[in-house]
Each structure stands twice: as C-alpha cells, then as structure tokens.
C-alpha cells in the first residue's frame, strides 16, 4: 500500500525489500506483480552469503527451532544486517507498522527517531486497521500477498510464519513454536 502511494504519485523515494532466502512463493509473486503494475524498480537486498553459509553449515537449516538465540541469529543475518545496508545514508525509513499489530507496536508513535540506526521511522498506516488496509488494497487493485486470504496476517519467512485463527493475536503466527515474550525479529526493536 505504501509502495502504491509512492509509485502512483511518482515520489522520489527508493523502495527496497529484503530477500531472506526463505520467503514464500506468494511473496515473490506479489513482488513481481508490483514491478509489473507500476513499471518501477524495487531495490533488493540479500543477506551476506558467507554469514548464511557459516550459520547453516555450523547449525543446520532449521537451527532457529532449537533456541530463541538461534532464531534471533538467523533473523539478524537474514533481515537485520541487510536492512542496515538498505538504510545506510538514509534519513527516513517508511514502514507499514500499525498500532493494532501488537501491544508493543501500539506503544510506538507514528514517527520516531531510531538512535541505533540513526534514522527517522515513519509509519503512515499506524492508525489504520487491518480491514481498512484490506479494503484500500481491494478498492485500488493493489497487488497483495494472497497468503492474507488464508489467515496469514503477518508474513515473514517460511517456515517461521503460519496462519492464525480469526481473533488471535497478529504476532501469534510468527515464531509460533516460541512461548511468551516479544515476537520481533530485530527490525523494529529499540
């Protein structure tokens, strides 16, 4: 949706995405459909191949199931480090975080300064509900991830994401094998 606003209005804003190497096929499809619809480039960032190779060689391809520390290591290598490169020399990071996604996220503000990343974080959809977002996407024929139609309200890597039942916490489908605690990968933590 944010990409739609930027591309549809020809705003001079770089759109970037992170390919963790563990994305769902549906995520690649929406990425491709977005490029096709708007005829604009999206800058892609991959994790450092040597770091991924070392982690998987040492611990195996599913080490994240064995401990929260292993899961956070995987997220750091596959998501946080590439985001750091994407934000290098940037002043603002526009993100789709919404207040209704979790108790932790509801405590944020629609704009804040991230001292660690030295960037302002702007959440233009912060006060939008999930239904408002879905309706806007439908009414404007915006490419979206069809996993949403199957109960995935928060989509990340496969197999770290699964569908949730209506009324369940938005983040309960992420790292579903972990009990309690903060359900974040490190991209949006202070």
Domain assignment of residue 95, given as a range: 2-145
pLDDT tens-digit series, residues 127-166 = 999 899 999 999 999 999 999 999 998 899 999 999 998 8
Per the CB < 8 A criterion, the answer to whether 79 and 18 are in contact is yes
Q: Reply yes or no on whether the pLDDT at 43 is more than 90.
A: yes
Residue 69 buriedness (CB in 10 A; 0-12 / 13-18 / 19+): exposed
Residue 160 lies in a domain: no
| SS3 per residue for the chain | CHHHHHHHCCCCCCCEEECCCCECHHHHHHHHHHHHHHCCCCEEECCCHHHHHHHHHHHCCCHHHCCHHHHHHHHHHHHHHHHHHHHCCCCEEECCCCHHHCHHHHCCCCEEEECCCCEEEECCCCCCCHHHHHHHHHHCCCCCCHHHHHCCCCCCECCCECCCCCCCCHHHHECCCCCCCCCCCCCCCC
Q: What is the dihedral of CA 128, 187, 167, 123, to 10 degrees?
A: 0
The total number of structural domains that make up the chain: 1
CATH number, domain of 37, equals 3.40.50.620
* Average pLDDT of the segment spanning 52-57: 98
pLDDT tens-digit series, residues 93-129 = 999 988 887 777 778 888 999 898 899 999 999 999 9
Strand partners, 114: 119
Structure tokens that stand for 140 in this block? 């404007």
Annotated catalytic residue 185: yes
Per the CB < 8 A criterion, the answer to whether 153 and 165 are in contact is no
Which of the four pLDDT bands, split at 50, 70 and 90, describes residue 81?
very high
How would you classify the pairing of strands 16-18 and 43-45? parallel
Residue 182 lies in a domain: no
């Amino acid at each position: 949706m944010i990409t739609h606003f930027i591309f549809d209005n020809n705003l001079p804003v770089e759109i970037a995405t992170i390919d963790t190497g563990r994305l769902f096929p549906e995520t690649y499809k929406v990425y491709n459909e977005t490029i096709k619809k708007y005829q604009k480039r999206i800058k892609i960032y991959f994790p450092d191949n040597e770091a991924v190779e070392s982690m998987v060689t040492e611990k195996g391809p599913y080490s994240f199931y064995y401990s929260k520390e292993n899961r956070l290591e995987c997220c750091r290598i596959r998501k946080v480090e590439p985001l750091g490169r994407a934000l290098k020399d940037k002043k603002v990071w526009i993100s789709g975080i919404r207040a209704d996604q979790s108790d932790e996220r509801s405590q944020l503000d629609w704009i804040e300064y991230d001292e660690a990343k030295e960037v302002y974080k702007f959440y233009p959809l912060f006060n939008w509900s999930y239904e408002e977002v879905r309706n806007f996407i439908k009414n404007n024929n915006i490419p979206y991830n069809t996993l949403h139609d199957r109960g995935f309200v928060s989509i990340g890597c496969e197999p770290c994401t699964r569908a949730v039942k209506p009324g369940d916490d938005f983040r309960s489908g992420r790292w579903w094998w972990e009990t309690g605690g903060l359900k974040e990968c490190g991209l949006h933590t202070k």
